[in-house]
Structure 1
């Protein structure tokens, strides 16, 4: 039934993990609105891959603004699935800073803006998602999916620096997830589950619905 599992769900995971595909599957199954992070109209993304030191700060500000707008809309409508959220945005920025793509001053400016935005979210009637779904997989799986979807600027062939960036980001994701405390969570192992397999898709939707029921039950007990 449409709206039966009304909730705000956010996806998290590496570049290439399949967040947009999962968002489509879950939103259609739950009768939710899907929020996608647009690549086609992002004028900075490809420039970043070509020259990360020049464009990292601009890209992260672009993403932060876009994700802030999306999460505000999701909190107002309360029945949405987002393919990436503001909550993992700082991870990408910290990796870019560690890689030398952003200066200390740029990092401080970004974090100050992020804190300001998070204070605004704390003032909304709904203050956090109902569920975060972490798409966890090996670096080999992620790289294989990046290659398969074929965006030229994302490919590591002949770009050792990009492979280093992906590896550094991947190494930090589990720690980011362990520290995340804004909502209930669940993990999907993308090494063993593949949405191109209809049985796996059915299994994933069943898990999501079951986890949402658990979250609701826990909320009722807390009240």
Structure 2
């Protein structure tokens, strides 16, 4: 685990992960790591026909996220430079479990574990969650053409999957703090007070991290 802040922001599609990552990067002068989304050549086809294009879509995301994290480790974390990312690579398993048939999921899972066994693990997680209505509204507001065909039933399942995943994450990684942000109650894009609340929570966890570093020296 890195000894400098390595923050990963997670949550369902459209919840505001990238917006928050930008704001925290600017606030703390952390390097910003953004996931590759619209560059995925299979994504539009995936939203039209999930069963047909799920494996190609998930493999593209996995390989690109692996390369991004490899670069982050070499260029930033290894040099004690803090990073905030708008994703955690383990999200791949959330989507893969939901979209891949059993035979392809088994193959995918093997490749996933091979690629990620030595990847850096965040030492702080921010989990954004909200009701389906809020998620749908935010997807509509940002207006990505590629997302307009996403079925609301898929988004609802995905939100449930994320909740189960984060509950499991907290049990498996009790040493990694998780800051939970309810998107129905907080709008950090339009309200500075809400953003300031999140910033204070991050600062508190950074202080804990600094104390741990001092103890381990």
TM bracket, shorter-chain basis: 0.7 to 0.9
Q: Per-residue displacement from partner, 1:36-68 (whole Å, max 9, x unpaired)?
A: 123332211111112212211111011111221
Instruction: Pick one of 189, 213, 223 that aligns with 2:207.
Output: 213
Measured against aligned partners, the alpha-carbon deviations of 1:17-49 in whole angstroms (never above 9, x if no partner) come to: 100001100111111111112333221111111
Give the equivalent residue in structure 2 for 1:64: 62
Q: Shift of residue 103 of structure 1? A: 2.5
Instruction: Trace 1:134-149 onto structure 2 (pairs within 5 A).
Output: 134-149=127-142
**Structure with larger RCO (C-alpha < 8 A, sep 6+):** 2
Q: In structure 2, what is the equivalent of residue 197 of structure 1? A: 191
Partner of 1:9: 7
Cα deviation for residue 221 of structure 1 reads: 5.0
In structure 2, what is the Cα distance between the partners aligned to 1:63 and 1:198?
A: 33
Kindly indicate whether the alpha-carbon contact (under 8 Å) linking 1:186 and 1:211 is maintained by their aligned counterparts in 2.
no
Displacement after TM superposition at 1:14 (Å): 0.4
Structure 1: state its 5+ residue gaps.
97-101, 122-126
Check whether the contact 1:6–1:30 (CA below 8 A) recurs between aligned residues.
Answer: no
Match of 1:93 among 68, 93, 96: 96
Q: TM-score, normalised by structure 2?
A: 0.86
**Deviation at residue 95 of structure 1 after TM alignment:** 0.9
Summarize the Cα distance change of 1:60–1:6 in structure 2 as closer, same or farther, 3 Å threshold.
Answer: same
CA contact (8 A) 1:93 1:107 kept: yes
Distance 2:128 2:216 in 1: 28
Query: C-alpha offsets along residues 101-147 of structure 1, whole Å, 9 cap, x if unaligned?
Result: x32221011100011112232xxxxx421211111212221111111
Matches for 1:113-192 after TM superposition, within 5 Å: 113-121=111-119, 127-155=120-148, 162-180=151-169, 181-182=172-173, 183-192=176-185
Mapped partners of 1:174, 1:216: distance in 2:
29
Structure 2 unaligned residues grouped into runs of 5+:
none
In the aligned structure 2, how far is the partner of 1:7 from the partner of 1:74?
A: 13
SS of residue in 2 equivalent to 1:86: coil
1:218 Cα deviation from its structure 2 partner: 4.5
Question: How many aligned positions are there?
Answer: 205
Paired residue for 1:38? 36
RMSD: 2.1
Q: Aligned partners of 1:116 and 1:59: how far apart in 2?
A: 19
Q: Alignment partner of 1:120: what SS?
A: coil
